[in-house]
Structure 1
Amino acid sequence: MKRFVLPLILLLSGCSGLKDQMAMFGDDLLDTAPQSDFDVRYPDWGTTPTIASSGVKGPFGQQRTQSYNDLQSFLVNNGVDYELLPGNHVMVKLKDTIKFNSGSSRVSTDSAYWLDMMGSYLATQPGIDIVIDGHADSTGAPTLNDSLSMKRASAVKQKLLSNNVAMDSIFTRGYGEYVPACSNKTKAGKACNRRVEVLFIVANN
């Protein structure tokens, strides 16, 4: 008889403990259980860790940081037109492009002045990466234009480096004649396509 009584007592005491636990969590355990992987990683259910941010989001949902606010103020104060691109990061593309003469990768005097101003600012902004895209018109062989577009991007990079912008924050790409902004059928269109475009990628913190 004793052999049956002891397991019965243990079983009843276990049920009593289970009732106490259910009372502690409430009537519906599904409301208390973790709802996602995030809840499992952070077991204080219902208490999400606070991520420090400005709380202001861009039109595409990106988190706007102090680096972005500083960049925006600089561009607006200096009359530089720009657009905010969609994506997970804040990416600011300048609408003004750096123009070049036909067959040349030499930065013009006007563009050099503008790049000096931009470089002086960017040298103080470690949270901003610069992407420089070189382009060419359709004059000449495609292989020549590929090389020319890279030389134009490199010329702009060198101008920024001369203003103490960090080398590891600058990235260059050459697109040759394959991404025209205007028609190559007119003289004005070709002049439009001999260009370098500048894009800023702003750090998330």
Structure 2
Amino acid sequence: MKYIILPILLVLTGCGSLPSDMMLMGDSMLDVAPKGDVDVRYPEWRKAPQISTAGVQGPMGQQRTTSYDSLQSFLLKNGVDYEVLPGNHVMVKLKDTIKFETGSSKVSSDSSYWLGMMGNYLSRDPGIDIVIDGHADSTGSPNFNDGLSLRRAKQVKQTLIKNNVAMDSIFTRGYGEYVPACTNKTTAGKACNRRVEVLFVVSNN
């Protein structure tokens, strides 16, 4: 008889240790079971951490953040044509380039106005880095054009800094005459190659 009573006592003792709130919920364990995957992974908070993104993905699966949404709206509002490049980050390349006279790194008045407008916007969004690529045509020696292309990029950087864009968010590169966008055999082609290209790298946060 004692072999039968002992298991019954153990069962009754175990039931007495159940939390009182569980007893109040009724007989069904479904009342206290996790309601979904989130409850299992985040039992204390009952909700997953929120990721601040726009919920849209780029060509390589990049998350397009609120900074991207804001940048896109700004470019569209001002009629600036652009393309989104593949990569681990959202990279927005402007199709319009900044043009220069032969042998010069001086930013034209038209480009200065445009850069001023762009700088005012960028100074308010720390989630965007700016990459400035300088180029030259084939006039002059390759060594001269290497330096000229970098001076052009740095001049554009200085124009943005004057409009309160953070210095450490701007990166410059010079490609000399080695990455032409057009032919160097015509006057129009050389004018096309005397340029600075602007690329925005948008933070994933």
* TM-score interval, normalised by the smaller of the two chains: 0.7 to 0.9
Conserved? CA contact 2:149–2:174, under 8 Å = yes
1:66 Cα deviation from its structure 2 partner: 0.2
Pairwise CA distance, 1:49: 5.5
Partner of 1:180: 180
Deviation, 1:59, is 3.3
- The aligned runs of 1:77-96 (5 Å cut-off) are 77-96=77-96
Tell me, yes or no, if structure 1 residue 76 matches structure 2 residue 108: no
Offset from partner CA, 1:44-103 (integer Å, 9 cap, x none): 59x996551332212332101000000000000000000000011000000000000000
Q: Given the superposition, is the C-alpha separation of residues 48 and 152 from structure 1 closer, same or farther in structure 2, using an over 3 Å criterion?
A: same
Count of residues in correspondence between the two structures: 162
1:153 deviates by 0.2
Give the residue type in structure 1 aligned to 2:84: L
Gaps of 5+ in 2: 1-39
TM-score when normalising by structure 2: 0.76
- Aligned AA for 1:72? Q
For residue 160 of structure 1, what is the aligned residue in structure 2?
A: 160
Letter in 1 for 2:102: S
Name structure 1 gaps, 5 residues minimum.
1-42
Q: State how far apart, in whole Å, the 2-side matches of 1:54 and 1:161 are.
A: 29
Q: Which structure 1 residue ranges, 4+ long, deviate > 3 Å from structure 2?
A: 47-51
Paired residues for 1:18-57 under 5 Å: 44=41, 50=49, 52=51, 53-57=53-57
Contact 2:54–2:69 at 8 Å: present in 1 too?
no
Separation (CA, whole Å) in 2 of partners of 1:67 and 1:165: 15
Letter in 2 for 1:191: A
TM-score, L = length of structure 1: 0.76
Q: 1:90-169, aligned counterparts within 5 Å? A: 90-169=90-169
Instruction: State the AA in 2 paired with 1:119.
Output: G
Could you say which residue in structure 2 is the equivalent of 1:189? 189
CA distance in 2, matches of 1:74, 1:112: 18
Q: Offset of 1:125 from its aligned partner? A: 0.7
SS of aligned partner of 1:165: coil
CA RMSD of aligned residues (A): 1.8
Q: Deviations over 1:170-196 (max 9, x none)?
A: 000000000000000000000000000
